[in-house]
Structures are given as C-alpha cells and as structure tokens.
Amino acid sequence: MTDRITTERTALITGASRGLGRALSRALARTGWQLIIDARGEDALAAVTAELPGQARAFAGDVRDSRHRAALIDAVEEAGGLDLLVNNASTLGAAPLPRLAAYPLKELEQAFQTNTIAPLALIQGLLPALTHRRGAVLGISSDAAVEAYEGWGGYGATKAAFDQISHVLSVEEPELAVWWVDPGEMGTEMLREAMPEEDLSETPPPESVVPALLKLIDGRLPSGRYTAGELLR
C-alpha cells in the first residue's frame, strides 16, 4: 500500500531544478500530480526528475527562448491539458546588487525578459489549456516588489511589473485562480548571490514555504497577492 493519491492533475513548473521550484515539484509529485518541469541546467534538472515519484517530463532550456516555451506548450497539449502553471523561474539580474544609478541596462533588460516577459508569454500560450480546466496560475513574487530596499531596485522592478500583470490577469480571466505570492526570505542560491557577505545559515529553507503554496492550490483560494507568512498563520 502507498499513501500516494492518484490524480489526473497536471502542473507545469518553471525553474524546478533548485530552491522553491524543486521543493514544490517534490510535494506535488508525492500527491500524484503529473509534472512538466523546466530549468536552465540540464544535469540539475535530470537529478530532480530522477528523484520524483510518478510522471514527470523535464525540458532543459531558458524560458526567454520562444522555442523552449513552444516545447513546454506542446508537452501540455500531449498531457491533455493543464491545471496549474507555476511561474517560478527567475533571475536576480546584476550581482552584486548595484544601485540604480549604476545598473547595467542590458542586464536589467534581460532580467525583465526572464522575470516578466517570459511568464506572460507562457500564460498567453497556455491560456486555452488552463481555461478549459478552470486552472490556476501561481507566480512567485518578492517583498522587493512592494518595498524599497537599497540595491534591489532592478530585481524589485521586474517583480512589481509581474505583480501587476498577475493582478490584471485575475480581473480579465475570472474563471482562473491567479495568485502571486511573496515567499519571504529563503535560503536559496539566489539569496546567497544577492547577499554574499551575510550569514544566511539561519534562513528558512524553501521547503518551509511549500505548505503555504499547497494551501492556495488545494484550497483554491481567491485570486490575489499573498505572503507565505499570512498563509501559514
């Protein structure tokens, strides 16, 4: 016997090779979700796929690449539909974090492409599949989208724009559940890149945020912006 619940639900999770994407992939796989996952690092993605129970299809590539996004959309069609899109893939942008006065504009443009434009492109391509199943779109945001932290202007701007896209999407597509979530500070590689001189040993791991995301997904809470802290309370 197994405690694994068999379902026919399908989720597409970007940035699944590490951090919160990896932790959420593990949690959904354990409850029977069929997964389509992506990340830039082929070896790291293969390692995650090997540890997941059930069905998981992995696609290595960059979400900025339209051909890679097309492959993900094709995989959703082959799976028969989509219940959940998790826009988790993200980039810090320039590091160490520069002040806006010195921010390299080319790197800022690339950050917008990854954190804002690519998620919208996926939403556009997958909207018919999501609408057909009354699915959900979960975007990973940041407190940097709403707070003014020195050095975080570039990254925060990309997340603020993504928040607004999510907010408008929730109005325009009321049959979908649309959530954009600030997970709080987590002990991830991205945070270590942003704060290389800080002691992050006591920072909660990404796994600590997963129960908050599952509360949204399993309970199909109303569309809106949430923080992991308020969901866990």
pLDDT tens profile 1-51: 233 333 589 999 999 999 999 999 999 999 999 999 999 999 999 999 999
Helix or strand (DSSP H, E) at 154: helix 153-172
> For the ranges 43-57, 122-136, 178-192, 215-229, which has the lowest average pLDDT?
178-192
On the question of a cis peptide bond just before residue 53, with omega within 30 degrees of 0, the verdict is: no
Mean of pLDDT over the chain: 93
Determine the Cα–Cα distance for residues 161 and 153; give it in Å rounded to an integer.
Answer: 12
Question: Taking Cα atoms as reference points, which of 20, 16, 19, 70 lies closest to residue 38?
Answer: 16
Q: Which residues neighbour 69 within 8 Å (Cβ) at sequence distance 6 or greater?
A: 63, 118, 121, 122, 125
Note the helical H segments in 80-135: 105-112, 118-132
Q: What is each CA distance from 64 to 26, 39, 67, 113, in whole angstroms?
A: 25, 11, 9, 6
What would the CATH number be for the domain defined by 10-232? 3.40.50.720
3 state DSSP class of 155: helix
Question: Edge-to-edge strand order for the sheet containing 10-13?
Answer: 56-60, 34-39, 10-13, 84-87, 136-140, 177-182, 224-227
Determine the Cα–Cα distance for residues 201 and 1; give it in Å rounded to an integer.
Answer: 38
Percent of the chain with pLDDT over 70: 94
Global pTM reads 0.93
Determine the Cα–Cα distance for residues 8 and 33; give it in Å rounded to an integer.
Answer: 7
